Amino acid sequence: TPNALFDFHYYLTVCSGNKAYALLFRSFEKMIRSLIEVHYSEPGELRRVLPLYHELSRCISQGNCAKADELILNILSTANDYLNKML
């Protein structure tokens, strides 16, 4: 769901240890939530990236930071590509 995805990304910013990043992310909450809703209103998009989120969660729990970074960039790149086409 869009709320869960926003929360997940927010917690990633908190876990980064960069308080300014987490604060900045939260300050754009309304816009980010809106973009998440647009992106995942297409069921195929969510199905396409859900495995990446599962793998990201696994990498984080295993402490595989390099792979987690790669997956986050992949997820964000996918969202960027989709939103650029739609907006």
* pLDDT level of residue 58 (50, 70, 90 thresholds): very high
Q: What's the confidence (pLDDT) of residue 86?
A: 83
pTM of the prediction?
Answer: 0.84
Helix (H) or strand (E) holding 1: none
Mean pLDDT for 36-47 is 89
Q: What's the confidence (pLDDT) of residue 65?
A: 93
Mean pLDDT for 21-39 is 94
Distance CA 35, CA 23 (A): 18
Q: Would the pLDDT of 72 be above 90?
A: yes
Q: What's the confidence (pLDDT) of residue 80?
A: 93
Q: Which two tokens stand for residue 38?
A: 């647009």
SS (H, E, C) 2-65: HHHHHHHHHHHHHHCCCHHHHHHHHHCHHHHHHHHHHHHCCHHHHHHHHHHHHHHHHHHHHCCH
Distance CA 1, CA 6 (A): 9
